[in-house]
Structure 1
Amino acid sequence: MILFFGTRPGKPETIKLLNATCPYCQLMGTLNAVTQKNYFHLFWIKLFKIYSNTTVECSHCKRGYYESEFTDEISRELSRIKK
């Protein structure tokens, strides 16, 4: 019997952070958060989420931020929206 299993990324989810300020250009409402989730699959069917990765990019200055670089304001806004 042959089993096809592995990991594969899901669809990215984009959220606009309206109440957060970009730490670089200091403009409010220009940040977009993109969350990418990876799943374990068996026969191309998603079974469970392995991990997720969130990055934030400013639409004005194009500066990107990884999760380790999030300010308290960005983290609070993300947790408020995801609830």
Structure 2
Amino acid sequence: MVIFGWREAKINTQPINNHSCNYCNTPERLFIQVNRLYVHIFWIPIIPLYKKTYSICGHCKLEMSKSQMPPDLQKKAKDCRQTSKTPWWMFLGLFIVIFFTLYMFATALLIHK
């Protein structure tokens, strides 16, 4: 039995200054959070897929997707998303597959000599 699926991992969080929550009107408590979706097999990440961007209120915990944000907050979310880097460990499964494939080819070449 092979256990596979996809998960989200938080890759960046930035506080947003000079902006208040649309729901509770609490100032200076908004954060932009960037998550990366990845495919895993046996909980080992294989390939990162795409980024999701949310604004989160630290007071009422309201999450807004990029399409629900006001235009000025969407621009800040876009900037945060562009500066967010994918962590190396999200390619770990791909590195393991490449290493295993190279090892098998090297072993096959040594056996046939």
Between 1:7-16 and 1:30-39, the stretch displaced more is 7-16
- In structure 1, the gaps of 5 or more residues are none
- Structure 2 unmatched runs, 5+: 84-113
- The aligned counterpart of 2:74 is 75
Task: Extract structure 1 runs of 4+ deviating beyond 6 A.
Answer: none
* In 2, Cα distance between equivalents of 1:71 and 1:77: 10
TM-score normalised over the length of structure 1: 0.62
User: 1:4-19 alignment to 2 at 5 Å?
Assistant: 4-11=3-10, 13-19=12-18
Report 1 or 2 for greater relative contact order, CA contacts < 8 Å, sequence distance ≥ 6: 1
| Structure with more helix by fraction | 2
1:22 is aligned to 2:27: no
Which structure's CA Rg is the greater one? 2
Supply the RMSD in Å over aligned alpha carbons.
2.8
- Give the share of equivalent positions with the same residue, in percent: 24
Q: Closer, same or farther in 2 for the Cα pair 1:81/1:8, shift >3 Å?
A: closer
Counterpart in the other structure of 1:49:
48
Name the count of aligned residue pairs. Answer: 80
TM-score (norm 2): 0.50
Q: CA-to-partner distance for each residue in 1:18-66, whole Å, 9 max, x for gaps? A: 2444334273x32112333221123433122234333222234x26222
